[in-house]
């Protein structure tokens, strides 16, 4: 056969063919035969070469687009690229350069495979020239003259003889480094042989470095049998698949008697997650390490942010009222923003009366010693106003912590949120505590080890307070300069020498609900003690009762507190306060003048109502000197009521509050919310209505407190009622001495309740009923002991005094029951007649 020159092959590529379909170099040359079954048909004297690395693999992902047609789009780009000045880098030119001129072959078709990054070249060759000889010439040329495309400067063009039947599919199956090689019979109904790894290696190694060959498990029932061949490079896997897909392995090469056909497909390699597997298999090590890393990350990222917000909260850096524009606007509109002049004048009278106490607090704040101040007084005595508006009037850095919303918050998350809001601690993820508790519980139930994600309420509160302490320290040292005379002093010594630079922490409503949520009080007191001992801040506690000493002594056992007590106002100061409140203001005087000039009587009545101050002194004796009650009285006097009418309404309102809070049926200790009973409250109300002061121990020895069935601990009952301000327990040398009413107006309210015949009879009946039960229980106890003594086989003379004692006790209890029932009979008559 005559050897065909390369010129005829080139002319076949570049010159139109005299057939209906004209192939061009920049188009896919998929023939009509190939469109039928997706395979390349070839004559006996035709063979196929696969040229690799002619197109980049990455843009093959564009084939996923449904409307994208590679034959009409990408090939058009190739045509335009060939006509440019870079035509020498055209993929088809690379094919021309890869075919030796002396090779006895005639190119008949070029089929580009954009997805695989190469082309199939079908060629004719003489019958006496084997195809593998032509393959050898081409590979020799490519080895001597390395042809590299512009997109791959490291890998040259490779070529291989197609020994099988390539499958020209356009599915979304893109090249991978792993090949799934299935062993199928060449003809339907035949038998295939599973090739060994040695046989597979000998066939596939020539196309590139093989990383691993994995045979099918011996017990697998999956058909057809298969094996995985993992190449080191994706291009090598492409080369092997396009050259050996559909190749029939003969019996001599291990394919069995009828041969075995290789059917190949790309498959995603399962990545080995060794690190992840180790982590999931060792949760007892990984989870604590993960918790430590997350904690450290949180500290590094969020702690500086939180410290910044705490400092801004204390210094009021971003508060609107500190801006110059706001102060100017407030100065121009004083009539809109200023406090009512009558109220201001009334407070001035109080501050004048308490000026010595205000000055004393200011002196304590200027001392270099540790400043731990407690301002104690009943609710409504003006503790907060005295400290914040008078004693700290010239201070700038003040942190106010109100314990009331913190203690009353429901749930740990709400408690943490309230404390963070009080100190300006943000961002605060209060919800994360509940979620982390659930995660911790789930991990502990599955692994048996506690993860440590969740934190206790104590640790969360401690973290917030610790960050706040650091922010307060930075505020103290922020005004320190290198030019100061004491700049060389350590931080502790500097803070001790400059008490004026310390911020002031005011803790309001300390021990608001006694022992409720005691952990909050303990943590705040310990934190305040640390601030005082390190000279970081002055601390002022605002407490309502004298029980604060137990909690604070626990935090500072070796320190003496600076104590300031606020009581009720004296009658003279209370009268001045009322008169300053009801005094006619400038606006009211002006309106009254205008109404007089106009002669409008209705307008004159509305302009100013002259208060009726007759019997004011007697009314103040009943009302007392509690600041909130005096303000209430002043408002009623300005509304036109007389002092007697106003005090009567205030007394009735106080009596209603006492009745609702303490004396309604069901207000007993059954729900563990109270340590007192209704009978004990009524006993105190009756006793205090008759006497202004009661002996503490005398009350404890009464039957109602000593033998109560619902509240047997009399001291706890009195402390609970004192914390609710129904009564006040006065002390002497640290021990309780006497009991008085919680508010002066309660004295009249108690009398009002006792003078109600129906209420008094009903509650007396309740008290007697409990006393009857107490005595009946005593009788049962005496009878039980007498029965046990009677069962003795002999009656020794020694038990006679005991029997006599029990019989006398039983007789006394019986007589008490008879007396109580007689009183109950009289009370029933009252209840049946009175409305």
Q: Tell me how far apart the alpha carbons of residues 198 and 183 are, in angstroms, rounded to a whole number.
A: 15
- Give the tokens for residue 477: 């040292």
Residue whose tokens read 């001495």:
737
- Give the tokens for residue 28: 């896919």
Phi and psi for 654 in degrees, rounded to 5? -65, -40
At 570 the pLDDT is: 78
Q: In terms of C-beta density within 10 A (0-12 exposed, 13-18 middle, 19 or more buried), how is residue 459 classed?
A: exposed
**Helical segments of 583-676, H only:** 586-598, 601-607, 616-623, 627-638, 643-658
What is the DSSP pairing of strand 372-376 with strand 562-565?
Answer: parallel
Q: Which residues of the chain have pLDDT under 50?
A: 1-35, 67-68, 70-86, 335-341, 667-672
Name the nearest CA neighbour of 685 among 737, 738, 741: 741
At 631 the pLDDT is: 82
- Give the tokens for residue 548: 């604060």
Please name each of the domains of the chain with its CATH number: 6-161 (no CATH), 178-271 (3.30.70.330), 301-314+340-565 (no CATH), 571-640 (no CATH), 653-827 (no CATH)
Q: For residue 520, give the 3-state DSSP assignment.
A: helix
CA 816 centroid distance within chain: 61
At 95 the pLDDT is: 81
- Give the tokens for residue 338: 């200023």
- Cα atoms in the 13 Å half-sphere on the side-chain side of 242: 34
Contacts of 695 by beta carbon, 8 Å cutoff, 6+ apart:
737, 738, 739
CA distances from 200 to 182, 214, 449, 810 (A): 11, 10, 49, 109
Beta strands per DSSP E along 138-269: 158-161, 178-184, 210-215, 226-231, 248-249, 260-267
Q: Tell me how far apart the alpha carbons of residues 59 and 63 are, in angstroms, rounded to a whole number.
A: 8
Q: What strands lie across the sheet with 106-113, from one edge to the other?
A: 106-113, 118-124, 46-52, 158-161
Q: In terms of C-beta density within 10 A (0-12 exposed, 13-18 middle, 19 or more buried), how is residue 763 classed?
A: buried
Q: Tell me how far apart the alpha carbons of residues 816 and 808 are, in angstroms, rounded to a whole number.
A: 12
- Give the tokens for residue 206: 């020539």
Q: Tell me how far apart the alpha carbons of residues 568 and 235 are, in angstroms, rounded to a whole number.
A: 95
3-state secondary structure 551-588: HHHHHCCCCCCEEEECCCCCHHHHHHHHHHHHCCCHHH
Neighbours of 798 (CB within 10 A): 7
Q: Tell me how far apart the alpha carbons of residues 288 and 295 are, in angstroms, rounded to a whole number.
A: 10
Helix (H) and strand (E) counts for the chain?
A: 34, 17
Name the nearest CA neighbour of 234 among 204, 202, 212, 266: 266
At 189 the pLDDT is: 81
3-state secondary structure 138-190: HHHHHHHCCCCCCCCCCCCCEEEECCCCCECCCCCCCCCCEEEEEEECCCCCC
For residue 736, the surrounding DSSP H or E stretch is strand 735-741
Q: For residue 346, give the 3-state DSSP assignment.
A: helix
At 588 the pLDDT is: 56
Beta strands per DSSP E along 327-486: 372-376, 398-402
Name the nearest CA neighbour of 576 among 350, 344, 351, 355: 350
Q: Tell me how far apart the alpha carbons of residues 120 and 28 are, in angstroms, rounded to a whole number.
A: 10
At 205 the pLDDT is: 94
Inter-helix orientation angle 643-658/616-623, to 10° = 10
Q: Tell me how far apart the alpha carbons of residues 502 and 490 are, in angstroms, rounded to a whole number.
A: 15
Q: For residue 506, give the 3-state DSSP assignment.
A: strand
Phi and psi for 641 in degrees, rounded to 5? -80, 155
What's the chain's Rg over C-alpha atoms?
50
Contacts of 20 by beta carbon, 8 Å cutoff, 6+ apart:
none
At 686 the pLDDT is: 92
Contact 573, 349 (CB under 8 A): yes
Residue whose tokens read 């997706």:
38
At 346 the pLDDT is: 56
């Amino acid at each position: 056969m005559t050897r065909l020159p390369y010129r005829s092959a080139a002319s076949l590529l570049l010159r139109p063919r005299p057939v209906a379909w004209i192939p061009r170099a920049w188009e896919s040359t998929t023939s009509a035969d190939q469109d039928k079954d997706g395979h390349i048909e070839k004559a006996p004297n035709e063979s196929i070469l696969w040229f690799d690395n002619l197109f980049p693999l990455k843009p093959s992902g564009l084939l996923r687009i449904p409307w994208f047609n590679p034959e009409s789009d990408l090939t058009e780009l190739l045509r335009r690229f060939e006509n440019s000045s870079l035509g020498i880098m055209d993929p088809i030119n690379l094919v021309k350069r890869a075919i030796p001129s002396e090779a006895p072959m005639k190119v008949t078709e070029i089929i580009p495979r954009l997805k695989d990054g190469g082309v199939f070249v079908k060629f004719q060759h003489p019958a006496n020239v084997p195809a593998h000889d032509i393959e050898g010439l081409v590979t020799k040329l490519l080895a001597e003259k390395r042809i590299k495309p512009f997109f791959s400067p490291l890998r040259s063009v490779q070529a291989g003889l197609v020994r099988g039947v390539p499958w020209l599919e356009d599915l979304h199956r893109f090249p991978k480094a792993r090949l799934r090689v299935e062993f199928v019979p060449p003809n339907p109904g035949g038998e295939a042989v599973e090739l060994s790894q040695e046989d597979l290696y000998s066939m596939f190694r020539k196309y590139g470095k093989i990383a691993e060959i994995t045979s099918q498990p011996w017990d697998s029932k999956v058909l057809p049998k298969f094996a995985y061949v993992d190449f080191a490079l994706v291009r090598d896997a492409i080369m092997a698949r396009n050259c050996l897909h559909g190749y029939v392995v003969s019996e001599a090469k291990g394919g069995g008697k009828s041969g075995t056909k290789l059917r190949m497909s790309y498959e995603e390699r399962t990545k080995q997650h060794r690190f992840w597997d180790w982590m999931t298999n060792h949760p007892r090590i990984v989870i604590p390490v993960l918790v430590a890393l997350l904690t450290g990350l949180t500290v590094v990222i969020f702690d500086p942010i939180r410290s910044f917000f705490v400092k801004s909260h204390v210094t009021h850096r971003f508060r609107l009222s500190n801006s110059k524009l706001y102060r100017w606007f407030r100065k121009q509109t004083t009539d809109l923003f200023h406090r009512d002049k009558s109220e201001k004048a009334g407070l001035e009278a109080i501050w004048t009366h308490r000026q010595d106490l205000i000055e004393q607090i200011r002196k304590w704040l200027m001392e270099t010693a540790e400043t731990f101040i407690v301002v104690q007084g009943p609710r409504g005595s003006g503790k907060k106003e005295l400290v914040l508006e008078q004693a700290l009037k010239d201070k700038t850095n003040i942190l106010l912590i109100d314990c009331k919303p913190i203690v009353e918050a429901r749930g740990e998350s709400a408690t943490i949120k309230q404390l963070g809001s009080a100190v300006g601690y943000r961002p605060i993820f209060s919800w994360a505590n509940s979620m982390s508790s659930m995660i911790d519980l789930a991990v502990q139930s599955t692994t048996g080890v506690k993860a440590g994600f969740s934190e206790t309420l104590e640790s969360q509160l401690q973290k917030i307070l610790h960050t706040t302490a650091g922010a307060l320290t930075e505020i103290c040292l922020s005004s320190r300069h290198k030019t100061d005379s004491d700049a060389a002093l350590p931080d502790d010594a500097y803070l001790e020498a400059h008490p004026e630079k310390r911020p002031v922490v005011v803790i309001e409503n300390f021990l608001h609900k006694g022992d409720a949520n005691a952990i909050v009080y303990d943590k705040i007191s310990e934190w305040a003690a640390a601030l005082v001992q390190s000279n970081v801040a002055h601390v002022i506690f605002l407490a309502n009762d004298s029980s604060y000493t137990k909690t604070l002594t626990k935090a500072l056992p070796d320190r003496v507190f600076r104590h300031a007590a606020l009581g009720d106002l004296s009658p003279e100061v209370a009268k001045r306060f009322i008169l300053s409140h009801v005094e006619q203001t400038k606006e009211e005087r002006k309106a009254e003048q205008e109404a007089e000039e106009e002669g409008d009587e209705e307008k004159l009545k509305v302009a100013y109502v002259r208060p009726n101050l007759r019997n004011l002194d007697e009314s103040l004796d009943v009302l007392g000197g509690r600041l909130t009650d005096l303000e209430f009285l002043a408002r009623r006097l300005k509304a036109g009521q007389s002092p007697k009418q106003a005090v009567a309404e205030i007394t009735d309102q106080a009596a209603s509050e006492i009745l609702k809070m303490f004396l309604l049926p069901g207000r007993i200790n059954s729900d563990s919310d109270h340590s007192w009973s209704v009978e004990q409250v009524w006993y105190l109300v009756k006793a205090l209505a008759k006497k202004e002061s009661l002996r503490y121990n005398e009350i404890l020895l009464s039957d109602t407190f000593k033998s109560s069935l619902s509240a047997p601990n009399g001291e706890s009952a009195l402390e609970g009622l004192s914390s609710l301000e129904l009564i006040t327990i006065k002390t002497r040398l640290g021990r309780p001495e006497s009991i008085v009413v919680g508010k002066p107006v309660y004295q009249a309210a108690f009398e009002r309740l006792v003078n109600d015949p129906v209420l008094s009879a009903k509650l007396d009946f309740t008290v007697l009923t409990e006393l009857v039960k107490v005595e009946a229980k005593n009788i049962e106890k005496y009878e039980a002991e007498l029965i046990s003594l009677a069962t003795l086989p002999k009656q020794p003379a020694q038990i006679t005094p005991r029997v006599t004692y029990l019989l006398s006790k039983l007789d006394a209890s019986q007589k008490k029951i008879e007396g109580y029932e007689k009183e109950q009979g009289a009370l029933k008559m009252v209840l049946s007649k009175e409305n």
